[in-house]
Amino acid sequence: MEGILALLLPVIVLSIPIVAIWTKHQQKMTEMQIGSTAEQTAEKAAQYASHIQRLEDRVQVLERIVTDRGYDIATQIEALRDQRKVDEGAGMPLGLEQKERV
C-alpha cells in the first residue's frame, strides 16, 4: 500500500500545475471568444443602424410626396426615379426631352 502511494504522490503533485495551466488556457480562450462576439455584435449593430437610416430617409421622402398637396404624385415619383438613374451614373434618363417639351 505504501509503495502504491509513493508512486502516485509524485504523479498527483506534477498534475496539479498541469491542470492549473490548462484551466488558465481555457479561461483565456473563452475571454477571446467573448471579445470576438462583442466586436461582431457591434459591427452588426452599426450595419443595422445604417440600414435603418436609409429606410427612414426613404420613408421621409414618401411622406413628403404624400403630404404635399400642390404636386402631382405620379410626376414626383417619376422625377425621383429619373434622379436615381442619374445618381447611379446612368447619364441622362431616356424620355427627359419629352418631359421638358410638355
For the stretch 8-55, pLDDT in tens is 888 888 888 899 999 999 999 998 888 888 888 888 999 999 999 999
pTM higher than 0.85, yes or no? Answer: no
Name the nearest CA neighbour of 79 among 96, 57, 98.
Answer: 96
**pLDDT over 90 at 5, yes or no:** no
Residue spans of the domains in the chain: they are 1-48
The number of C-alpha atoms within 13 Å of 77 and in the hemisphere containing its C-beta is 6
